[in-house]
Chains A and B, each alone.
Chain A
Amino acid sequence: MKKVLVIQEDLIILKILERLVSLNNYECKAIPSLSDLSIEDQESNFNFIITDILFEGIAPLQFVAQVQEILTHENLLIVTSMGQDKIKQEIFALSGISGFYAVPIDLDEIDATLKAYNE
């Protein structure tokens, strides 16, 4: 089964994304921060990582770099409340970013992305 990792500090968004991913027939691991990852999770290969970039104690770009470095994945989607143009440009300047969704999020777009990958 294809695997998705969701990292969101906001519990409500985390639950909604977890539900959306599960209903699309993915195995979903939903956690509020990177520190909640188990050793097994770190060794997994995720088809998608859907993550926020705003976490305590780490700069947004540094966080993305950290995720890219420690987790094996195919697609990295950013879902965040930091939707300023400058941040968006900086994020897209990094390689390996598949999508950027700023709050307010249209979940239909993420749904379509997951469905398209599944087909």
Chain B
Amino acid sequence: MNEISLLFFIKILVLLLVVCWISIGVSMFYRRIRTSRLALIEATFADLVSRYLYNDPANPLSVQQINDRLKKTGIRPANRNNVQYLISLMIRTQRSISGSNFTKLQKLYGMIPPYGVSIKKISSWNWYRQARGIREIYEMNQVHYLDEVLKYRNDKNIYVRREAQIAMVVFLGWESLRFLPYLKWNMTLWQQIKVVEKLYDFYPQPDLKWLQKVYGTERSFAKRLLMRIIRKFELQSEVEFIMKHLADEDYEVRETAIYCINTFSVSSASMAYIKNEYDKIPDATQKLQLMNYIYENSNMDPEFYLEKLYGPNEDIKLNVAQILWNNGYKEKVQEFYMQQFPKSSLYVG
């Protein structure tokens, strides 16, 4: 490498370094401007919301004034990032407030931008934007977009249909259960929990009419969701639905039924039914779980346990032996174990 080419190489490196410095400088400058813009939007929104919620009769704040000030801070249809930031502030505020001010906020959100940004996202080709758009719609309670959102309840993307189904619950409450038998895709456990939690937060007063209408569903996830709802709302009158599924042919339905029945105490007649169902359960682990429920929620029934003591499964037998031993039937357990030794004579050498 001669002197000229070395100098040329150094010049290229210096040039690259300068370009790098300039881009860092521009980036820092942009970030500073952007941060101050976001801070301005937040401060303006905070001021407007506080004045709107607690309007001073001497200096009232009109919706026109609110819109003008938001426009001045850069909330315009062309500035999508600013509008998106405003939406996040609106959602954050709505989550923090309840009572009469929550209603006031909803009214305010209907009168100020975000220029239909959320509904536009729904028609995007990107699943993430679609799901986010639906989420913003239900978070801001834009119920007038319900029909649009409903179309996505059977979307092929799990996140899009998940948000659409949660939106259904937020907007329609207990009535949204009528769509349950017509959902085409499986509902994951996480999704079921989200639905139950939203229903509980937004509609704590049960409307059993809609729940009972879906009892005939054949879909496994629908049965599991219904049982989780019964458990969450502690609907003692609906425990029969859970009991009927203790010996369901689907493993997951049985698992949910056993999990949910643990929340309830039942009458002796219902307990007799549960004991009868116990024998129909094909899985030993689930049998054990149900046996523990029976033991903890009913009077000691030695006949029931003695029958199980002579059953085929070793784990169950051990559990039964423990129950009998701890409840005054030691001799029955001893008798059972003695029978296992062969009747052979002792050989003493």
Contact residues of A with B, CB < 8 Å? 10-16, 18-20, 23, 81, 103-109
Taking the complex as formed, is B11 at the interface, i.e. its CB lies under 8 A from any CB of chain A? no
Determine if B50 and A104 form an interchain contact, defined as CB atoms under 8 angstroms apart: no
Taking the complex as formed, is B305 at the interface, i.e. its CB lies under 8 A from any CB of chain A? no
**For residue A14, which residue of chain B has the nearest CB?**
B46
Determine if B96 and A105 form an interchain contact, defined as CB atoms under 8 angstroms apart: yes
Contact residues of B with A, CB < 8 Å? 42-43, 45-47, 49-51, 53-54, 56, 89, 92-93, 95-102
Determine if A104 and B100 form an interchain contact, defined as CB atoms under 8 angstroms apart: no
| A–B pairs, 27, beta carbons within 8 Å | A10-B92, A11-B42, A12-B42, A12-B46, A12-B50, A14-B46, A15-B46, A16-B46, A16-B49, A16-B50, A16-B53, A16-B97, A19-B50, A19-B53, A20-B53, A20-B54, A23-B54, A81-B96, A104-B96, A104-B98, A105-B97, A105-B98, A106-B101, A107-B99, A107-B101, A108-B99, A108-B101
Min CB gap B295→A, angstroms: 30
A11 to B43, CA, bound (A): 7
Min CB gap B332→A, angstroms: 44
**For residue A17, which residue of chain B has the nearest CB?**
B50
Determine if A12 and B53 form an interchain contact, defined as CB atoms under 8 angstroms apart: no
Min CB gap A54→B, angstroms: 13
A107 to B95, CA, bound (A): 13
In the complex, what residues of B have CB within 8 A of residue A13's CB? 96
In the complex, what residues of A have CB within 8 A of residue B47's CB? 15
**For residue A19, which residue of chain B has the nearest CB?**
B50
The 7 closest A-B pairs by CB, nearest first: A106-B99, A104-B98, A19-B50, A15-B46, A15-B50, A12-B46, A16-B50
In the complex, what residues of B have CB within 8 A of residue A108's CB? 99-101
Min CB gap B202→A, angstroms: 12
Determine if A12 and B96 form an interchain contact, defined as CB atoms under 8 angstroms apart: yes
Determine if A12 and B100 form an interchain contact, defined as CB atoms under 8 angstroms apart: no
Min CB gap A83→B, angstroms: 11
A13 to B50, CA, bound (A): 8
**For residue B93, which residue of chain A has the nearest CB?**
A12
**For residue B99, which residue of chain A has the nearest CB?**
A106
Interface centre among A11, A12, A15, A107 (most CB of B within 10 A): A12
A12-B98 contact in complex given A20-B54, A23-B54, A23-B56, C-beta closer than 8 Å: no
A109 to B99, CA, bound (A): 9
A10 to B46, CA, bound (A): 10
Determine if A19 and B51 form an interchain contact, defined as CB atoms under 8 angstroms apart: yes
**For residue A16, which residue of chain B has the nearest CB?**
B50
**For residue A104, which residue of chain B has the nearest CB?**
B98
Determine if A106 and B42 form an interchain contact, defined as CB atoms under 8 angstroms apart: no
A103 to B51, CA, bound (A): 20
In the complex, what residues of A have CB within 8 A of residue B51's CB? 19
Task: Name A11's contact: one of B46, B56, B102 (CB within 8 Å).
Answer: B46
**For residue A106, which residue of chain B has the nearest CB?**
B99
In the complex, what residues of B have CB within 8 A of residue A16's CB? 46, 49-50, 53-54, 97
Min CB gap B331→A, angstroms: 47
- Give me 4 other A-B pairs in contact (C-beta within 8 A), A20-B54, A104-B102 excluded: A16-B54, A18-B50, A103-B96, A108-B99
Task: Name B96's contact: one of A10, A18, A20 (CB within 8 Å).
Answer: A10
A20 to B49, CA, bound (A): 12
Determine if B50 and A103 form an interchain contact, defined as CB atoms under 8 angstroms apart: no
Determine if A12 and B99 form an interchain contact, defined as CB atoms under 8 angstroms apart: no
**For residue A22, which residue of chain B has the nearest CB?**
B54
Determine if B89 and A107 form an interchain contact, defined as CB atoms under 8 angstroms apart: no
In the complex, what residues of B have CB within 8 A of residue A18's CB? 50
Min CB gap B228→A, angstroms: 22
In the complex, what residues of B have CB within 8 A of residue A12's CB? 42, 45-46, 49-50, 89, 92-93, 96
Min CB gap A113→B, angstroms: 14
A13 to B46, CA, bound (A): 8
**For residue B95, which residue of chain A has the nearest CB?**
A104
Min CB gap B84→A, angstroms: 17
Determine if A19 and B96 form an interchain contact, defined as CB atoms under 8 angstroms apart: no
**For residue B47, which residue of chain A has the nearest CB?**
A15
Task: Name A107's contact: one of B45, B53, B92 (CB within 8 Å).
Answer: B53
